[in-house]
Structure 1
């Protein structure tokens, strides 16, 4: 299944939301949109594409109604999510965790373009496996630019077959939070100030 979501935030107007497939967007406050599942997704073979545009002077908060459960499909265990964020105003993106269940394999790619006037908070939480599960795999890549210049290139792998895969002490959960231009905030794990401004905080462990 292919799911497409487009959210456009403009100042002094309700967000414009267009959806197709298994993911829908619902406005829950003046500047808040929740993503909800209209069907079981992502299963193996599924692709989710989310494009977000925040115009200058606009504020948008994106949340999700529940955790995203990634499951293997009949023909393949692999699924994908693509996020394309264009930020000229203020964007706060903080969905519920992604749970990679069974032997599912999921890849998330996020591409961000922030203007000089833009402000961003992006938090991602991932857990490999439900109770007593550790067979799943997740990889996430982040490509962020500010005013056409590189801000961050970042990639993480978790789970079976990852670069950190180890039966004794491999991390099975992670939290990653990127903020721009703000660099001073409370977060678990390690904080890394970025040369072009902003900060990346990362944490890894066994369970969220």
Structure 2
């Protein structure tokens, strides 16, 4: 299944929302939108594409109504989620965690373009496996630019077959939070100030 979501936030009006496939979006406040599942997705073979545009002077809080459960399919284990974020205003993106269940493989990519008046908070939480499960795999990549110049190139892997997978211990959970233009904040894990402004906090462990 292919799911497409478009959210456009403009100043002094409600966000414009277009959705097809298994993911829908609902406005829950003047500047808040929640993503909700309209069908069981992502299963192996599914792709979710979410494009967000925040115009100059607009604010958008983007949340999800529940955790995302990535499940293996009958033909392939792999599902994908792609985020395309264009921010000239203020974006606060903090969905519920993604759980990679069973032997599923879930690949996430985020492309973020921040304008000269843009501010961003972007948090991602991942857990490999439900209770007693350790076989899944997740990879997440972030490609962020500020005014067309590089801000961050970042990729993390978790689970079976990842670069951190060994017999001594394999991280199965991750929290990653990017903020711009904040130089620091009270985030989980290791704080990394970025050369072009903003900062990234990352944490890895056994369970969220």
Same-fold call, TM > 0.5?
Answer: yes
Per-residue deviation, 1:167: 3.2
Q: Which residue of 2 aligns with 1:131?
A: 131
Partner residue, 2:62: 62
SS of residue paired to 2:157: strand
User: How far off is 1:184 after superposition?
Assistant: 2.1
Alignment of 1:110-129 (within 5 A): 110-129=110-129
Unaligned runs of at least 5 residues, structure 2: none
* TM-score when normalising by structure 2: 0.99
Alignment deviations for residues 130-174 of structure 1 (CA, whole Å, 9 cap, x no partner): 001000000000000000100000000000000001233110000
Distance 1:136 1:101 in 2: 6
Whole-angstrom distance in 2 between the partners of 1:125 and 1:166: 22
| Deviation at residue 183 of structure 1 after TM alignment | 1.6
Aligned partners of 2:184 and 2:191 also within 8 Å? no
Q: Which runs of 5+ in 1 are unaligned?
A: none
Confirm or deny that 1:196 pairs with 2:179.
no
**CA deviation vs aligned residue, 1:179-203 (integer Å, no higher than 9, x gap):** 0001221011000000000000000
d(CA) in 2 for partners of 1:69, 1:166: 25
Alignment of 1:1-208 (within 5 A): 1-208=1-208
Query: Cα distance, 1:8 vs. partner?
Result: 0.1
| CA positional deviation for 1:100 | 0.1
The runs of at least 4 aligned residues of structure 1 exceeding 6 Å deviation read none
